[in-house]
Amino acid sequence: MQTEYEQHGNHYYLGLLSMTSLKQVNDNEGCGYGGDYILSGSQIFSKHISNLQSITLYRISGSEFAFLFLLTEEAAKEIDLKISSIKSIENNDRFDNGFARHALTRVNHHEDFTEVVKRLDNQLAHNQYTENANGLVTVLLMQKITLVKNENGSVF
């Protein structure tokens, strides 16, 4: 990772995507429709983000997906905006909890993977209770989280 950054200025980014209305769709319309919701969401996001960069979406649980990519910060911002616009287009009255939520962050070469996932999970939870469509955890926000963690011993 460090070599890639030194040679090309690229960083690894990890993203999480949560299909937030799966339970609602399953409860109201049936599990078959829930499966269709997950499949259509994965196809929509895969199609649009792979057009920007070579990114693969991985399903990690029933309604959760992860993606890992190697990009500059500017390209990561572009992907964040693209995912945000897809979510906005897909949102409708059918989805009380929204079509999906996402978070993505840069992975530093010295970071523990668990800390990266915690940061993303915290951002997903935060985005669930705000109207914030974007999910990029910026370097500045990462520094603020680190400061809070260092002073208090925990992130929150």
Model confidence pLDDT, tens digit, residues 98-146: 899 899 888 887 788 888 888 888 888 877 666 655 667 654 554 454 4
Answer whether 0.85 is exceeded by the pTM. no
Output the pLDDT for position 77: 87
| CA dist., res. 29 & res. 105, Å (int) | 34
- Work out the widest C-alpha separation in the chain, in whole angstroms: 52
Per-residue pLDDT tens digits for 58-86: 899 999 999 888 888 888 888 888 888 88
Instruction: Pick 49 or 1 by higher pLDDT.
Output: 49
